[in-house]
Structure 1
Amino acid sequence: MQWRNTRVRWGIVSVGLHWLMAIAVIGLFGVGLYMVDLGYMDPLRNVLPDWHRSIGVLLGAALVLRLLWRFISPPPAPVPEHTTVEHLSAHAVHWLLYGLMLAMVVSGYLISTADGRGVAVFDWFSLPAITGNVQGMEDLAGDWHRWLGWTLIILAGLHGLAALKHHFWDRDDTLRRMLCMKLRQSRSPDRQ
């Protein structure tokens, strides 16, 4: 498998970033839901939020890397069997997912720095707070973070269902290209 994307398939960097970010989004959503109900005396009360923040920052870094890589190594051409509507919808959903992930990282950062303290990332480094102690910022950013999280997970779920529809119903190569599987259609060696 090649590092860079080709005209017909995703390269290993794009595939790796896709699945790493998918796992992070699903995991962060689950941990986020679990965290809001932790009691004051729960031993995970301090650990999970720190992990959630740290992984969220790393997700933001992966998003920046993924967007840079998208310009360095452009995506493959659309699967020939896709209609124009499917192609435009997929393009819009991808950019909406990127925008939602960015908004999640920003709102999470604003929650974490509302008291003027920076965000420690696994004790490796710390992101400084760019705002001081802003009245009401934690609550407002928290509301946005919650609604953006639900929107992101629903859209990601629909994205996954669309990939399954293409694989099992349409029997095209959409999912196979992201799973590094052999393509169904015959492709000339110079195009793979």
Structure 2
Amino acid sequence: MERYTKPAILLHWLIALLIIAAFALGLTMTNIPGLTPTKLKYFSWHKWLGVTVLGLACLRLLWRLTHAAPVYPAEMPRWQQSAAHALHFLLYILIFAIPVSGYLYSLAAGIPVVYLGVLPLPVIIDPNPELKPLLKLVHYWLNMTLLAAVCLHVLAALKHQFIDRDGVLRRILP
């Protein structure tokens, strides 16, 4: 069975791990009451993870546009192939939309993003107290949508591995 390329596999798993870390850190930091040094440190780390995910997502998209994905097994029903394509498309959209929404939320809150504490990212919107709560809500719901989509993605992969036994999961394993 045809597999994804090594760069595609590396980017898939690296982005997945960074997203899990950013999600866990996001939940942790938002549950810390008040404004503490630890909470501020976690916010910085969360932003750095988001910027890294966005950069790697750009690389992944460029790779994907120039390298076709392996074809699905012939016995895989057409509706499942269509569902897989739709879910992958949604995942790509969310992998871009979430860091952008977090970046805009931070700027609307009047807090610039300084990648790794040394590289200030451009300030593309001014602080905006009216926009801040909307962007916070958008960032939250995009993350909840990503959580649901990732769960569906993982469940589908496990179904293919243990029920269908069609080798679909092996295509992306390192």
**TM class, shorter-chain normalised?**
over 0.9
SS in 1 for 2:2: coil
| Equivalence for 1:185 | none
SS in 2 for 1:90: helix
Q: Choose 94-103 or 74-83, whichever is displaced more.
A: 74-83
| Equivalence for 2:28 | 34
Residue among 17, 20, 36 paired with 2:14:
20
TM-score by length of 1: 0.85
State the alpha-carbon separation in 2 of the partners of residues 119 and 142 from structure 1: 15
Bigger Rg over Cα: 1
Q: Deviations over 1:101-160 (max 9, x none)?
A: 211111101111114453111124121110112232221110011111011011101101
| Equivalence for 1:77 | 71
Percent of aligned pairs with the same amino acid: 39
SS in 1 for 2:55: helix
State the alpha-carbon separation in 2 of the partners of residues 37 and 115 from structure 1: 19
Structure with more of its chain in helix, by fraction: 2
The 8 Å contact of residues 116 and 129 in structure 1, kept in 2 or not, is answered as no
**Number of residue pairs matched by the alignment:** 174
Q: Choose 117-126 or 31-40, whichever is displaced more.
A: 117-126
| Equivalence for 2:60 | 66
- Give 4+ residue runs of structure 1 displaced > 4 Å after superposition: none
State the alpha-carbon separation in 1 of the partners of residues 61 and 3 from structure 2: 17
Question: For 1:99-178, what aligned pairs fall within 5 Å after superposition?
Answer: 99-178=93-172
CA RMSD, aligned part only?
1.5
State the alpha-carbon separation in 2 of the partners of residues 81 and 141 from structure 1: 43
Do structure 1's residue 87 and structure 2's residue 73 form an aligned pair? no
